[in-house]
């Protein structure tokens, strides 16, 4: 068996697998359905569970923030469509929150393709997050255990960060946009030649960018 056959999950930079999925919004073809947009696919262990309910409410409350940056949401679990629908109804009736993004009703095929089954816990899916760009490439993957709910603000932050990185050809520092060293600035890729290193020093003197040293420069965008 070769390396490709042994792979259990996609890797960063891979094309998101072509999948036909049944959802609360009907049959969708991924990633084609979101072509030209970023999307976040997130799996949850099961409907009608407390932590998952808090997550879905949190995702919904930030859904307009995702849409504002050209990013869509889609959930998934190994539950049938009618279970998703009843759960959505319960959330609306009891928590006054209407879930507007689609939820995949997986038979297990999608979870197997993406490596989402929680080992040792039956057919439950892990709390996974796949961030996919407009070209259908997987840019970020997060995995959380069942016991820990996700931070939706962090998922929104990383999508914004990757979009900025792509647009400006820069790197994003820790805790951006509130980094302890550079605040909301972004990191300029390190110089790869002596001439570029000297150029960085001159730009630092002129205030075009700020540098701790020739290899560690940052700027506003």
Percent of the chain with pLDDT over 70: 93
Domain assignment present for residue 146? The answer is yes
Domain assignment present for residue 221? The answer is yes
Domain shared by 199 and 101, yes or no: no
pLDDT at 122: 55
Domain CATH number, residue 29: 3.40.30.10
Domain shared by 142 and 52, yes or no: yes
Domain shared by 105 and 30, yes or no: yes
pLDDT at 2: 46
Residue 131: name the closest of 7, 8, 4, 13 by CA. 13
Residue-wise pLDDT for 79-110, tens only, equals 899 999 999 999 999 999 999 999 999 888 88
Domain shared by 138 and 216, yes or no: no
Domain assignment present for residue 177? The answer is yes
Nearest-angstrom CA–CA distance, 129 and 150: 9
pTM over 0.85: yes
Domain shared by 133 and 178, yes or no: no
pLDDT at 174: 97
Q: What is the mean pLDDT of residues 126-151?
A: 93
Give how many domains the chain has, as a whole number: 2
Domain shared by 204 and 146, yes or no: no
Q: What is the mean pLDDT of residues 21-37?
A: 96
Q: What is the mean pLDDT of residues 63-68?
A: 98
Distances from the Cα of 42 to the Cα of 1, 91, 174, 181, angstroms: 30, 18, 23, 32
Which residue range forms the structural domain that includes residue 98? 3-150
Domain shared by 31 and 127, yes or no: yes
**DSSP letter at 48?**
S
Which residues have a catalytic role annotated? 52
Residues in the chain: 221
Domain shared by 13 and 119, yes or no: yes
Residue-wise pLDDT for 175-215, tens only, equals 999 999 999 999 998 877 888 877 777 777 777 789 888 88
Domain shared by 190 and 144, yes or no: no
Q: Which residues pair with 32 in a beta bridge?
A: none
Domain shared by 19 and 116, yes or no: yes
**DSSP letter at 171?**
B
From 150, 179, 211, give the residue that closes a domain: 150
Domain shared by 127 and 218, yes or no: no
Nearest-angstrom CA–CA distance, 51 and 145: 11
Domain CATH number, residue 216: 3.30.1020.10
pLDDT at 7: 47
Q: Quick check: helix, strand or coil at residue 184?
A: coil
Domain shared by 113 and 210, yes or no: no
């Amino acid at each position: 068996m070769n390396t490709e056959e042994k792979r259990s999950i996609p890797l960063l930079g891979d094309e998101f697998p072509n999948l036909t999925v049944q959802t609360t919004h009907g049959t969708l073809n991924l990633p084609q359905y979101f072509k030209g947009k970023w999307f976040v696919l997130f799996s949850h262990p099961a409907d009608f569970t407390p932590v998952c309910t808090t997550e879905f409410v949190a995702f919904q409350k930030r859904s307009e923030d995702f849409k504002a940056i050209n990013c869509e949401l889609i959930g998934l679990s190994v539950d049938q469509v009618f279970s998703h629908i009843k759960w959505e109804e319960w959330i609306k009736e009891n928590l006054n929150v209407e879930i507007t993004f689609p939820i995949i009703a997986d038979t297990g095929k999608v979870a197997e393709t993406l490596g989402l089954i929680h080992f040792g816990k039956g057919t439950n899916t892990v709390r996974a997050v796949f961030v996919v760009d407009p070209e259908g490439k997987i840019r970020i993957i997060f995995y959380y255990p069942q016991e820990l709910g996700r931070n939706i603000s962090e998922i929104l932050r990383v999508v914004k960060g990757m979009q900025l990185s792509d647009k400006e050809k820069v790197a994003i520092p820790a805790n951006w946009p509130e980094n302890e060293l550079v605040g909301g600035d972004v990191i300029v890729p390190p110089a790869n030649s002596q001439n570029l290193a000297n150029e960085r020093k001159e730009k630092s003197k002129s205030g075009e960018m700020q540098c701790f040293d020739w290899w560690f420069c940052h700027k506003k965008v």
